Chains A and B, each alone.
Chain A
Amino acid sequence: MKKYLEIAKIHFKAQIAYRFDVAMTMVFTISKILFAYILWDAVFGQNETVAGFTFPMMFSYYIISSFLYQIEMSDRVSWEVSARIRDGSFSKYMVIPVNPQRYFIAQTLGAMMFYPLFIFASTAAWVVLFRVKLVIACDTAVIAAALIMTVLGLLFMIQLNYLLGILAFRFQDISVFLMIKGNIVAFITGALVPLVLLPRGIVSVMRFFPFYYVTYLPSMLLIGRNKEEALTGIAVLAAWLLLFTILNKYAYSKFRVMYDGVGI
């Protein structure tokens, strides 16, 4: 465990070298907030409530979901793992005394830890600038459930991206697939629109899958809605996390023999 903590620390410190990237990440948080503000301001100009949301609630949803979406940086795991498999530099993870999956979890969490404060600061600045009243839940149990779900969601997304990354052992070039995945994940996690706007039947099916609980449900909980789903959400997400831990172990042991270390 200690060695993974050290890996996380190193990657946390490494972010300091990319100060400009951090600054740009902060500035670009405005994109999703501006999108929500302009689009929903027009929608609420003609309607008082939409799917049970008022404008401050809807805007709060986007502020929170955009914050969660920005700190979820697991995308880089699939890109890095697949690139390293393609260029042959994945060999180093096979020879050093670490479990590659845990290494990438530690690496991503280390890098992720650096950003929340900055993204929070920039998000807060945009909220003040747009002068919108935030709607936030006051129930500590609900906030705790949302935080647990957020952490589980981050871990699940890292696991998912690791699995996609190691598919490069088998399929070599998976970049197109990863780009498509990015668009689909943004939609099914509720980062584009709250999932409650989708037909009820589709939402019911989505509840069996983990993406519902990664961004959407924590955001809804934090604006004081869907409280009754909190415990089920944690249970479903934990089950998917366990499943992916086993699946990743199996996939790695099956696919690693296909690796020929090209590029060394």
Chain B
Amino acid sequence: MMVYRLSFFGATFVDGCMFIVLILMFNAIYSQVDSIGGWSRGQATIFLGTFSLLNAISMTFYFFGVVGIPGKIKSGELDHYLTKPINPLLRLTFENIDPGSAPLIPLSIGIIAYGVSLQNMTSSPGTFILYFVFIFLMAVLFYDMQVILRTIPFFVISATSIEKLEGTVIELCMRVPGVLFKGMFKVLFYFILPYGLMATIPVQIITNSASGIMIAVSAAVVVLFTALAQWFWRFGLKHYKSAGS
């Protein structure tokens, strides 16, 4: 894979560039105002770094495995996974680990460190530990959403628009900190398509602005969506028609 270096590090270049552009965007806005919805430049930078970190974990470990599920359902190739003595979802998830995306992880940590320095804050080691626990939980939630959306092709012919919807919602939620959502948008992006929670809660934890209730609710959302993803996958498998094989 290293022969095609540009393609090998493709995700790093593309996503790294995307998050740098977003930092420039927030810097442009913060050059005119001191806060957005009560969030300082430091918090917004940590938010972008956190979203970038979640994206990096996804791209490195499971995205390129999960993204192939609709194609395998459509072609019937999923048969090969069902007949092997290993959990098919587990194998699908980790069969395409992408080391080329790994440089995004230190890059994201660099963005977070820059945000922390801008924020000029004091956090206890316990806060940092809780932050990384929630990074793990939100990476699980990110995975759950990917699995749920890519299980829909068990029931429909084409999932192109579902993937488009996912891309659109992620794009929105990585540009808008969750604290800015109000009313029905908050319900939508916290509890139905919970991308709004993913980077927001860890940032609130590390900047000591998260309430205990919100932390508990977020953990409950992760547990709920993990159970839902597992159930939906099994439910989808029951409807698998093995067409094309």
Contacts and interface: CB of A to CB of B under 8 A. Distances in A.
A193 B172 contact: no
Given A42-B180, A47-B33, A193-B28, 14 more contacts: A31-B168, A34-B172, A39-B36, A43-B33, A175-B7, A175-B10, A179-B10, A180-B14, A183-B14, A183-B18, A187-B25, A193-B25, A193-B29, A197-B29
6 contacts: A38-B181, A39-B29, A50-B32, A176-B7, A179-B14, A197-B31
A145 to B, nearest CB: 26
A97 interface: no
Contacts of B182: 38
Interface in A39-83: 39, 41-43, 45-47, 50-51
Nearest to B19: A183
Interface string B167-196: 010011001100011100100000000000
B242 to A, nearest CB: 26
A198 interface: yes
Q: How large is the interface on B (under 10, 10 to 19, 20 to 34, 35 or more residues)?
A: 20 to 34
A167 to B, nearest CB: 13
A20 B28 CA distance: 36
A31 B25 contact: no
B21 interface: yes
A118 interface: no
B161 A176 contact: no
A127 interface: no
A45 B37 contact: yes
Which 6 A-B residue pairs are closest in the complex by CB-CB distance? A42-B37, A197-B28, A176-B10, A179-B14, A31-B168, A42-B180
B238 interface: no
A186 interface: yes
B4 A183 contact: no
Interface string B21-39: 1001100110111011100
A6 interface: no
Contacts of B168: 28, 31
Interface of B: 4, 6-7, 10, 13-14, 17-18, 21, 24-25, 28-29, 31-33, 35-37, 161, 164, 168, 171-172, 175-176, 180-182, 185
A129 interface: no
Interface of A: 20, 24, 28, 31, 34-35, 38-39, 41-43, 45-47, 50-51, 173, 175-177, 179-180, 183-184, 186-187, 192-193, 197-199
Given A46-B35, A199-B31, A31 B171 contact: yes
B58 to A, nearest CB: 17
A24 B161 contact: yes
Contacts of B185: 34, 38
Q: Which of B13, B37, B181, B185 has the most chain A CB atoms closer than 10 A to its own CB?
A: B37
Nearest to B35: A46
A46 to B, nearest CB: 7
Nearest to B22: A192
B27 to A, nearest CB: 9
A43 B25 CA distance: 14
B6 A186 contact: no
A179 B33 CA distance: 31
A39 B175 contact: yes
Nearest to A186: B21
A33 to B, nearest CB: 10
A175 B13 CA distance: 11
A175 B9 CA distance: 12
A47 B31 CA distance: 13
A34 B176 CA distance: 10
A41 B177 CA distance: 13
Given A20-B161, A187-B25, A197-B31, A42 B36 contact: yes
Nearest to A172: B4
Contacts of B7: 173, 175-176
Nearest to B4: A173
Contacts of B164: 24, 28
B20 to A, nearest CB: 8
Nearest to A177: B6
B232 to A, nearest CB: 23
Contacts of A198: 28, 31
Contacts of B171: 31
Contact of A31 (B18, B35, B172): B172
Contacts of A42: 36-37, 180
A139 to B, nearest CB: 27
Q: Which of B4, B161, B182 has the most chain A CB atoms closer than 10 A to its own CB?
A: B161
B32 to A, nearest CB: 5
Contacts of B13: 176, 180
B47 to A, nearest CB: 12
